[in-house]
Amino acid sequence: MKIRIAGIVEDSIVDGEGFRITVFTQGCPHNCPGCHNPNTHPATGGRDADTAEIINLIDNNPLLDGITFSGGEPFLQPSPLTKLAREAHARGLDVWSYTGYTLEELNAKKNPAIDALLQEIDVLVDGRYDEKQRDLTLNFRGSANQRIIDMKAYRKTGKIRLLDI
């Protein structure tokens, strides 16, 4: 399955807990001032990749704890990311995703493909980057308005549980 990506980092320790592979998707509608990945905003940038290529990278790295979807905006390409998330789970890896949308905004879209991806995410870092709330002391996020959501707990209870990490 094809996916438009800005790039892949095969050995990240800053995009979630543990040793991770991070897929930077291409295309973002948010255009947050101060974004650290403005090159990912144009939908026409980056390159086409195949999910099989990314799965192969996962299979060739026995040290991985998980996969992270970043961007750009991952939820613009939910179907290929759902496939990657399922493949990661089948290999015992966890799945994190960043998004400029809030969880409430994603749910309000009532988009079956987005809903399917949300079912596969273990940890969701949501909310637009806000340069006025920038905080370099925060783990795994750039501004204080962004939340780190335990999606497993959310699916069980229907209530947002924030992770304190």
CATH of the domain at 78: 3.20.20.70
Q: Residue 59: inside a domain, yes or no?
A: yes
Indicate the number of domains in the chain. 1
Task: Indicate whether 162 belongs to any domain.
Answer: no
What pLDDT sits at residue 160?
97
Can you give the residue range of the structural domain that contains 78?
A: 2-157
Asked, for residue 85, whether it belongs to a domain, the answer is yes
The string of pLDDT tens digits covering residues 95-120 is 999 999 999 999 999 999 999 999 99
- pLDDT digit string, tens, across residues 19-78: 999 999 999 999 999 998 999 999 999 999 999 999 999 999 999 999 999 999 999 999
The pLDDT assigned to 36 comes to 87
pLDDT tens by residue, 124-163: 999 999 999 999 999 999 999 999 999 999 999 999 999 9
Which amino acid appears at position 73 of this protein?
E
Nearest CA-CA partner of 22 in 30, 31, 12: 12
Q: Which residues contact 11 (CB under 8 A, 6 or more apart)?
A: 19, 20, 21, 61
